[in-house]
Structure 1
């Protein structure tokens, strides 16, 4: 059996982080979730060399300080972090936001559902995709 999928959720909203943690807790055998309340905190943690790298990062766009696009650019500009898949998770479905995310090399873009039931379905689909699509040797295959 492969190890659980390691996720990092970066979102300034405490309510959204708690909601996501609650949903992901239902899949505890399939994934582990770490959260950060800001892009700055996430980048510091990931760059510390002490952190186990996630398989996938879920990144909110609308955050104070560094917004999600700035965090995405910093991740993709970092030699050790650039290969981590980043899924933008936002309430915005504006074409300009989606285009900007892909221009900055986001792996995908997910518009947060306002319905709890639909959000749970989104998370189930997200987990199924990333559990079956990831490299089993990631991130260990990347030289530190």
Structure 2
């Protein structure tokens, strides 16, 4: 798992994307956008679920910080974004975490399906870095300045909102 910024940052993002270059590029864009939050990255949907539930390779890590928002790629091996989203939204605790799909697909079918499965938002990955930085600025402004995001631990205890 990769991390960005200080563990004491007020917000946490968990990103699932099988392409290491895309993960690093997104994290670089977040930093370039001036983001002040943690970003943890995993390579597939199964790792995302294991992280959130404290299972598998994350079982010994104690009570890690739960994300305020999940960035989810659709096309990944092992457990793709669609099945991951279904499982997230069928779990009483995990269903509370906003999920933003971040995909290269701009297909109407994928967008409609993503929202139908419970995605909070759908963003199409831009093809150039400056556009990605701009997208991450807008992501940050919306999710961490306009919206109020949930905060809780694996036991489901909801903390007061950050705002």
TM-score by length of 2: 0.79
What is the RMSD of the two structures over their aligned residues, measured on CA atoms? 1.9
* Partner in structure 2 of residue 96 of structure 1: 109
Q: Find the partner of 1:44 among 38, 42, 50.
A: 50
Hey, what does 1:80 align to over in structure 2? Answer: 93
Alpha-carbon separation, structure 1, partners of 2:34 and 2:41: 15
Q: Is the 8 A contact 2:33 2:136 kept in 1?
A: no
Q: Which residue of structure 1 lines up, in the alignment, with residue 28 of structure 2?
A: 22
CA distance in 1, matches of 2:66, 2:134: 26
- Which secondary structure does the structure 2 equivalent of 1:79 belong to? coil
1:105 aligns with 2:118: yes
Aligned residues: 141
Unaligned runs of 5+ in 1: none
In structure 2, the partner of 1:117 is: 130
Q: TM-score, normalised by structure 1?
A: 0.89
What residue is the counterpart of 1:139 in the other structure? 151
Change (3 A) 1:61 1:115: same
Q: CA deviation at 1:28?
A: 6.1
Which residues of structure 2 form unaligned runs of 5+? 1-8, 55-61, 159-163
| 1:23-53 CA distance string (max 9 Å, x none) | 2233566211000111101101101172321
